Amino acid sequence: MPDKPFRPRVVIIGGGFGGLAAARALKRANVDVTLIDRTNHFTFQPLLYQVATAALAPSEITSPLRYILRRQKNTEVLMAEAREIDVVHRVVRVDDELKEIPYDYLIVAAGARHAYFGHDEWEPYAPGLKAIEDASEIRRRFLLAFELAEKSGDAREQQEYMTFVVVGGGPTGVELSGAFPFIARKALAPDFRRIDTRKTRVILIEAGPRILPTFPESLAARAARDLGDLGVEVRVNSAVTGVEPDGVWIGAEKLRARTTFWAAGNNASPLGKLLDSPRDRAGRIQVSPDLSVPGHPEIFVVGDLSILVQDGRPVPGVGPAAIQEGSFAAKNVLRELRRQPRKNFRYRNKGDLATIGRSRAIADFGWVRFAGRPAWFLWLFVHIMYLVGFRNRIVVLIEWAYAYFTYQAGVRLITDVERYKPPSADTSAATRIDEWETTLMQSKK
């Protein structure tokens, strides 16, 4: 009997922007594809902040990976956590049982997590925003704070509950802090009897000299003005030195607030450490120009987990870069299978957008820069276009239109209250930390 023709197996770790783009680029290829993700869904991270601020429901910005790839017959989806990469035997080991998934080519697109600059102990008091669970947690804390303020009879305590600190003046911090005052002052105000939610304070803290450092100075200044108009207190040159359940330290000054959110930094997925290749300080793997790992031409790393310097600047950690890289890595696999030489990746920046709040955004296309309502409409259009799934596009469009005309935030759901209770004000700091740690450990079970 003749030997079966060689049909390579391409394993992709991560079903985010990069991994999904890689899988789709292999749609008609003569290969078998296994896409591994620890969750069963793709998350459209640019709209996570809308889930965190009760504007959208989790299901509206996520889509099951199996459903997305249901027509791609050469591709299987495996809901599993990659734990080990054995580059010698060319297998990925998943889950507790370390089940082995062999590969001929491996594309790693495991993304990044928020980082606390060596202060992981701050995480329970200042959750970050990366996955859908984080967004639900932020929404819960934000809405719960008003319920607790309404219950409290103490004016000082009420104000502390209605004070929110957002750490980090990048796009995520700006989006989060810009959305909170709007909900507090418009959507929530008529619903409460004992508190005036219009007195809500939102403080955005940035360690550097300005917010939105990746945008041109003029647009960042415009965004800071817009945030000020919305009632956000922007504090630059303010490095956070401590985070506690009832406030945030900036040097010797303590800002009293019962709710803090973290949007200040990213670390690459720990999976990168398994590849034993050079990494930068954020843990990103330094890839070759063809996106492969030096010394391992059969392994590619794409998206937020990789670092590639072009024209003296790193390719940015944004959705379009991950999509372009994922697709490019897959095409390099196909080139090789056709015995063609690989190509070197070039990132094409199609422009940067950030929204600040209702009718406010900034847009930078290099050759043209603008802000305000036109940028906001463009932001809406682009995000609808990039959302995965026709149903999600329609539903989000309707939600946005409804919110625009009614000033409502439609998803004001507080869940898991019993499992998670903030500390009482009169206990000592140490007891409060113990209380929070206990409740958080319980809530994570």
Ligand X SMILES: Cc1cc2nc3c(=O)[nH]c(=O)nc-3n(C[C@H](O)[C@H](O)[C@H](O)COP(=O)(O)OP(=O)(O)OC[C@H]3O[C@@H](n4cnc5c(N)ncnc54)[C@H](O)[C@@H]3O)c2cc1C
- Chain contacts with ligand X (rule: CB under 6 A): 13-19, 36-39, 45-46, 48-49, 81-82, 109-111, 129-130, 171-172, 269, 271, 303-305, 317-320, 322
Q: Which residue out of 60, 137, 157, 175 is catalytically annotated?
A: 175
Per DSSP (E only), the strands in 194-257 are: 201-205, 232-235, 242-244, 247-250, 253-256
What is the distance between the alpha carbons of residues 258 and 247, in angstroms, rounded to a whole number? 6
143 and 412 in contact (C-beta within 8 Å)?
yes
Question: Which C-beta is closer to ligand X: that of 67 or that of 192?
Answer: 67
Question: Which C-beta is closer to ligand X: that of 351 or that of 372?
Answer: 351
Per DSSP (E only), the strands in 241-295 are: 242-244, 247-250, 253-256, 259-262, 266-268, 285-286, 292-293
What is the distance between the alpha carbons of residues 147 and 164, in angstroms, rounded to a whole number? 14
Nearest CA-CA partner of 300 in 13, 70, 89, 77: 13
Assign 305 to helix, strand or coil.
helix
Instruction: List 267's β-bridge partners, or say none.
Output: 113
Question: Which C-beta is closer to ligand X: that of 18 or that of 357?
Answer: 18
CB of 57 to ligand X, least distance (A): 16
Q: H helices of 118-205, where?
A: 132-151, 155-161, 171-182
**Phi, psi torsion values for 83, nearest 5 degrees:** -110, -35
Question: Which C-beta is closer to ligand X: that of 77 or that of 144?
Answer: 77
CB of 386 to ligand X, least distance (A): 8
411 and 139 in contact (C-beta within 8 Å)?
yes
117 and 310 in contact (C-beta within 8 Å)?
no
CB of 378 to ligand X, least distance (A): 12
Question: Which C-beta is closer to ligand X: that of 245 or that of 303?
Answer: 303
Assign 268 to helix, strand or coil.
strand
**All residues at 6 or more sequence positions from 126 whose CB lies less than 8 Å from its CB, including other chains:** 116, 165, 167, 243, 248, 260, 261, 262
Question: Which C-beta is closer to ligand X: that of 38 or that of 225?
Answer: 38
Sign of CA dihedral 133, 107, 44, 239: positive
Question: Which C-beta is closer to ligand X: that of 149 or that of 387?
Answer: 387
Count each helix (H run) and each strand (E run) in the chain, helices first: 11, 27
CB of 232 to ligand X, least distance (A): 17
**All residues at 6 or more sequence positions from 362 whose CB lies less than 8 Å from its CB, including other chains:** 212, 215, 219, 220, 222, 223, 353, 354, 356, 369, 370, 371, 375
Tokens found for residue 105: 């080519």
Instruction: List 166's β-bridge partners, or say none.
Output: 204, 261
CB of 82 to ligand X, least distance (A): 4
175 is catalytic: yes
CA-CA-CA-CA dihedral for 21, 26, 27, 28, to nearest 10 = 150
Amino acid at 143: L
What is the distance between the alpha carbons of residues 390 and 28, in angstroms, rounded to a whole number? 22
CB of 66 to ligand X, least distance (A): 13
Question: Which C-beta is closer to ligand X: that of 38 or that of 210?
Answer: 38
Q: Give the residue numbers marked as catalytic.
A: 175
